[in-house]
C-alpha cells in the first residue's frame, strides 16, 4: 500500500506539482531570455559555482528546519530526553548559520554577475545605437533610446541579479521539501499537494496579461523620458514664451497615463500572492484533518506530524514566491524583447573593408539619386571636385544641400549612382577610415561637458600647441585666453557658458585640429558677425589650399571667394560656375544673390 502511494504521489507530482510551474517557467524563460543571455552567463562559471554552493546551503538548511521538528516534539517534549535540551538549540543555531551563510554567498555573487552583465549590456546597446544609420537615429526620439539603455536594462538587471537566483533556489527548495513530505507520509503528501493544479492555469493567464502591461509601461516610460528631454533641451524657448504651464500640462497627461498602466500591472500581479495564500490554507486544512486522524489512530507520532506540517508550510512559501517571480518575469521578458529588438536591428549602412590611408584628393558624384518616400532629395547629381578646390553650395531651403554633404559622410547611401573618393566607391571603405579624413562644422554646434581643449581635440589626444594654433586660425584664441582657466576651462552642458559665436569658433577650431583633407562647412559662420567671418576666412585661406572645402552658405562674402558655386534646386544641380558667371546666366542664382545681399 505504501509503495503504491509513493508511486501515486510521484506520478501526481510529475504532472501537477510545483515541477509543472517550473516547466512552464522554463518554457517562457529559457526560450525568450536565457537563450539570449546564455553566451554571457557562461563566462561566469566560477561565480555560478559559488552561487550553487550558497543555494545548496540554503535549501539543505530549510529542509533541516522541518526535519528538526520531529525530535523536538517526540524526543524533547514527549520522551523528555535531557540531551535534546542541548542538541536541538545548537542544531537550530547551526541550521540558521548555514542558511544565512548560503543566502549571503548567493546574494553577493548573483549581484556581481547581474551588475557585471548589465554594465556590459549598457555598453553593447549604446555601441549598437550609435553605430546604426542616421535614418534610425533621426526617426527615434532620444528619450526612447535613453529609456532602453537605462530603464529597460535596469529591469533586466533585476531579473538577472534577483529573480533568476530566487527562482532557482525556490524551485530546489520546493523539490527538496516535496521529497521530504513524501518520505514522511505519502498519503498526507497527496492531500496537501492536490490543490496545486488549481493555481497553475490562472498564473499562466495572469503572466500573459502582465507581459502586455509591462511592455506598455516601458513604452509609456519612454514617452515620459522623451517629454522631459524635450523640456530640458528647450528651456530657453519655454521661458521666453511663458509656456511652463502648457508644458507641465502636456507632461502631466503622459505622467498619469504611465501611473494608470503601472496600476493595472499592480491590480493583476498582486492577486497571485493572496491566491496562493488561499490555496495554501486549503492544503493545510486538508493536512490537519487527515493528519489528525493519523495521529489519533496511532499511525503517526506527534513529532512526525509536526515535522510534516512544518515542511508543508515551508513548501507553500517558495511556491508563493515562484508565483510572484513568474508575474515579475513578464516585466523582464518585455524589457528583454525591446532590448534585443534593438540589438537585432540591421544597419542600413554596411561598412566596407578597405582602409582609406591617403588624403582625399578627388571627390565625384556620379548620377547620384537619393529617394525619401515619394520624392528625391538628390536627383541625378553628377559633379567632380579636386584637391585645393573651394566649392560653395547655394539654393533654397530643403533643396538638397545638406543631403549632398551627408552623402560624403555616409549618413545615407545613394538609391542609385555612386559617390567616389579618390576613384573608389566610398561604400568600399571602412567608415572610420573615411571619416578620419573629413571634418564637419554645422550651424548646430555640439559642445561636450569637458575642458575646452578636449572639445577642440575631440576624440584625439590633447596637444596644447596644436589646440592653440587651431584656436588662433578660428579667431577664438583671444576670448579663450581671457577665460579663467584658458583652454582648460570646463564647458557646461551645450557650452552654455559661451556665446553662440564663441561656440561656433570652437567648432571651427575642432575641424582645423583634426587636420582632415576634406572640410565640410554647413552654415559654419552663421552666428558670427561679418568682421569675425572675414578674419576666419583670411586665416583659413592658406590652411585650405591643399584641401577640398565644401561650404553651404547664405552670405555673399562666403560665396564670392569660392572656386565654383553649385546651385542646388529640388535635388538637382541646375547651374555651376563662378559668382560673376552665374549672375549673368542663372535666374535662380540672381534671385538668391539678391537675397544674400539684403
More confident site: 545 or 531 = 545
Is there a contact between 581 and 562 (Cβ–Cβ < 8 Å)?
Answer: no
Query: Quick one: pLDDT at residue 490?
Result: 92
**What are the Cα distances from residue 582, in Å, to 392, 533, 592?**
13, 24, 11
Query: Quick one: pLDDT at residue 32?
Result: 59
Among the residue ranges 292-296, 413-417, 479-483, the one predicted with the least confidence is 292-296
Q: How far is CA 205 from the centre of its chain?
A: 29
Query: Quick one: pLDDT at residue 404?
Result: 94
Chain segment 144-182, per-residue pLDDT in tens: 888 888 888 888 887 777 777 788 888 888 888 888 888
- pLDDT at 261 exceeding the cut of 60: yes
- pLDDT at 337 exceeding the cut of 50: yes
Quote the cell numbers at residue 240.
521666453
The most distant pair of C-alpha atoms in the chain lies apart, rounded to whole Å, by 119
- pLDDT at 26 exceeding the cut of 70: no
State the DSSP string of 336-385. Answer: HHHHHHHHTPPPSS---SB---S---EEEEEEEEEEETTEEEEEEEEEEE
Query: Quick one: pLDDT at residue 12?
Result: 39
- pLDDT at 403 exceeding the cut of 70: yes
More confident site: 187 or 348 = 348
Among the residue ranges 200-209, 352-361, 535-544, the one predicted with the least confidence is 200-209
More confident site: 414 or 281 = 414
Distance from the first to the final alpha carbon of the chain: 106
Query: Quick one: pLDDT at residue 413?
Result: 92
More confident site: 158 or 255 = 255
- pLDDT at 224 exceeding the cut of 90: no
* Cα gap 73→80, rounded to integer Å: 9
- pLDDT at 466 exceeding the cut of 90: yes
Query: Quick one: pLDDT at residue 309?
Result: 83
70 falls in which pLDDT band (50, 70, 90)? confident
Instruction: Report the mean per-residue pLDDT for the chain.
Output: 83
Nearest in space to 544 (alpha carbons), one of 312, 436, 425, 389: 389
What's the mean pLDDT in 409-431? 94
- pLDDT at 298 exceeding the cut of 90: no
Query: Quick one: pLDDT at residue 6?
Result: 40
- pLDDT at 17 exceeding the cut of 50: no
Among the residue ranges 108-112, 214-218, 307-311, the one predicted with the least confidence is 214-218
Nearest in space to 21 (alpha carbons), one of 262, 159, 181, 202: 202
* Cα gap 78→444, rounded to integer Å: 86
Domain positions in the chain are: 2-343, 362-597
Apex 285 CA angle, 284 and 290, nearest 5: 100
More confident site: 228 or 54 = 54
3-state secondary structure of 97: helix
- pLDDT at 575 exceeding the cut of 80: yes
Chain segment 204-216, per-residue pLDDT in tens: 677 667 767 777 8
Query: Quick one: pLDDT at residue 1?
Result: 42
- pLDDT at 11 exceeding the cut of 50: no
Query: Quick one: pLDDT at residue 33?
Result: 66
**Domain range 2-343, CATH class:** mainly alpha
* Cα gap 426→275, rounded to integer Å: 63
Is there a contact between 407 and 365 (Cβ–Cβ < 8 Å)?
Answer: yes
Query: Quick one: pLDDT at residue 353?
Result: 94
Is there a contact between 551 and 562 (Cβ–Cβ < 8 Å)?
Answer: yes
Q: Please state, for a pLDDT cut of 90, what percent of the chain lies above it.
A: 27
Chain segment 86-99, per-residue pLDDT in tens: 898 999 999 999 99
Among the residue ranges 267-281, 341-355, 506-520, the one predicted with the least confidence is 267-281
Query: Quick one: pLDDT at residue 568?
Result: 92
* Cα gap 33→304, rounded to integer Å: 42
* Site of grid cell 515620459: 224
Q: Which CATH superfamily is domain 362-597 in?
A: P-loop containing nucleotide triphosphate hydrolases (3.40.50.300)
H-helix segments, 68-163: 69-71, 84-131, 134-139, 142-147, 153-158
Is there a contact between 225 and 144 (Cβ–Cβ < 8 Å)?
Answer: yes
* Site of grid cell 544641400: 401
493 falls in which pLDDT band (50, 70, 90)? confident
Query: Quick one: pLDDT at residue 19?
Result: 42
Query: Quick one: pLDDT at residue 380?
Result: 92
Nearest in space to 507 (alpha carbons), one of 517, 519, 518: 519
The string over 142-179, giving b where at least 16 C-beta atoms fall within 10 Å of a residue's C-beta and e elsewhere, is ebbbbbbbebbbebbbbbbbbbbbbbbbbbbbbbbbbe
Query: Quick one: pLDDT at residue 592?
Result: 82
Asked if 2-343 and 362-597 have one fold, the answer is no
Amino acid at each position: 500500500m505504501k509503495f503504491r502511494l509513493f508511486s501515486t504521489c510521484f506520478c501526481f507530482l510529475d504532472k501537477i506539482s510545483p515541477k509543472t510551474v517550473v516547466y512552464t517557467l522554463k518554457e517562457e524563460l529559457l526560450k525568450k531570455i536565457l537563450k539570449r543571455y546564455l553566451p554571457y552567463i557562461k563566462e561566469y562559471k566560477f561565480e555560478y559555482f559559488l552561487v550553487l554552493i550558497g543555494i545548496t546551503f540554503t535549501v539543505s538548511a530549510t529542509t533541516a528546519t522541518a526535519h528538526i521538528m520531529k525530535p523536538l516534539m517526540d524526543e524533547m517534549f514527549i520522551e523528555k530526553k535531557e540531551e535534546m535540551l542541548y542538541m536541538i538549540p545548537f542544531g537550530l543555531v547551526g541550521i540558521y548559520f548555514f542558511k544565512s551563510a548560503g543566502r549571503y554567498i548567493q546574494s553577493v555573487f548573483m549581484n556581481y554577475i547581474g551588475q557585471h552583465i548589465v554594465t556590459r549590456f549598457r555598453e553593447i546597446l549604446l555601441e549598437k545605437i550609435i553605430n546604426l544609420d542616421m535614418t534610425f537615429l533621426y526617426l527615434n526620439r532620444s528619450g526612447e533610446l535613453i529609456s532602453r539603455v537605462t530603464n529597460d536594462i535596469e529591469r533586466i538587471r533585476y531579473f538577472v541579479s534577483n529573480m533568476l537566483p530566487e527562482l532557482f533556489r525556490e524551485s530546489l527548495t520546493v523539490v527538496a521539501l516535496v521529497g521530504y513530505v513524501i518520505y514522511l507520509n505519502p498519503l498526507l503528501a497527496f492531500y496537501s499537494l492536490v490543490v496545486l493544479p488549481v493555481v497553475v492555469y490562472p498564473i499562466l493567464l495572469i503572466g500573459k496579461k502582465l507581459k502586455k502591461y509591462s511592455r506598455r509601461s516601458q513604452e509609456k516610460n519612454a514617452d515620459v523620458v522623451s517629454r522631459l528631454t524635450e523640456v530640458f533641451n528647450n528651456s530657453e524657448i519655454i521661458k521666453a514664451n511663458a509656456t511652463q504651464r502648457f508644458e507641465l500640462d502636456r507632461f502631466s497627461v503622459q505622467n498619469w497615463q504611465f501611473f494608470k498602466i503601472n496600476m493595472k500591472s499592480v491590480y493583476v500581479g498582486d492577486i497571485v500572492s493572496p491566491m496562493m495564500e488561499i490555496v495554501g490554507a486549503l492544503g493545510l486544512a486538508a493536512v490537519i484533518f487527515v493528519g489528525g486522524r493519523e495521529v489519533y489512530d496511532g499511525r503517526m507520532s506527534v513529532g512526525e506530524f509536526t515535522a510534516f506540517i512544518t515542511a508543508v508550510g515551508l513548501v507553500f512559501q517558495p511556491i508563493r514566491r515562484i508565483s510572484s517571480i513568474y508575474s515579475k518575469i513578464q516585466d523582464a521578458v518585455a524589457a528583454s524583447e525591446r532590448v534585443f529588438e534593438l540589438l537585432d536591428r540591421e544597419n542600413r549602412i554596411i561598412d566596407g573593408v578597405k582602409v582609406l590611408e591617403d588624403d582625399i584628393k578627388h571627390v565625384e558624384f556620379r548620377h547620384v539619386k537619393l529617394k525619401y518616400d515619394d520624392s528625391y532629395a538628390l536627383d541625378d547629381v553628377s559633379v567632380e571636385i579636386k584637391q585645393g578646390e573651394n566649392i560653395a553650395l547655394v539654393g533654397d531651403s530643403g533643396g538638397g544641400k545638406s543631403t549632398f554633404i551627408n552623402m560624403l559622410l555616409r549618413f545615407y547611401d545613394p538609391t542609385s549612382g555612386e559617390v567616389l573618393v579618390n576613384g573608389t566607391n566610398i561604400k568600399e571603405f571602412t567608415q572610420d577610415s573615411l571619416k578620419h579624413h573629413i571634418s564637419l562644422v554645422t550651424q548646430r554646434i555640439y559642445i561636450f561637458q569637458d575642458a575646452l581643449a578636449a572639445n577642440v581635440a575631440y576624440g584625439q589626444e590633447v596637444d596644447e600647441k596644436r589646440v592653440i594654433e587651431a584656436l588662433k586660425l578660428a579667431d577664438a584664441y583671444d576670448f579663450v585666453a581671457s577665460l579663467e582657466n584658458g583652454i582648460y576651462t570646463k564647458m557646461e552642458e551645450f557650452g552654455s557658458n559661451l556665446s553662440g559665436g564663441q561656440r561656433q569658433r570652437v567648432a571651427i577650431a575642432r575641424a582645423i585640429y583634426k587636420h582632415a583633407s576634406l572640410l565640410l562647412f554647413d552654415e559654419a559662420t552663421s552666428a558670427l558677425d561679418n568682421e569675425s567671418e572675414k578674419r576666419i576666412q583670411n586665416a583659413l585661406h592658406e590652411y585650405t589650399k591643399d584641401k577640398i572645402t565644401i561650404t553651404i552658405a547664405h552670405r555673399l562674402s562666403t560665396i564670392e571667394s569660392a572656386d565654383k558655386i553649385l546651385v542646388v534646386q529640388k535635388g538637382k544641380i541646375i547651374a555651376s560656375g563662378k559668382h560673376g558667371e552665374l549672375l549673368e546666366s542663372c535666374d535662380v542664382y540672381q534671385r538668391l544673390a539678391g537675397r544674400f545681399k539684403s
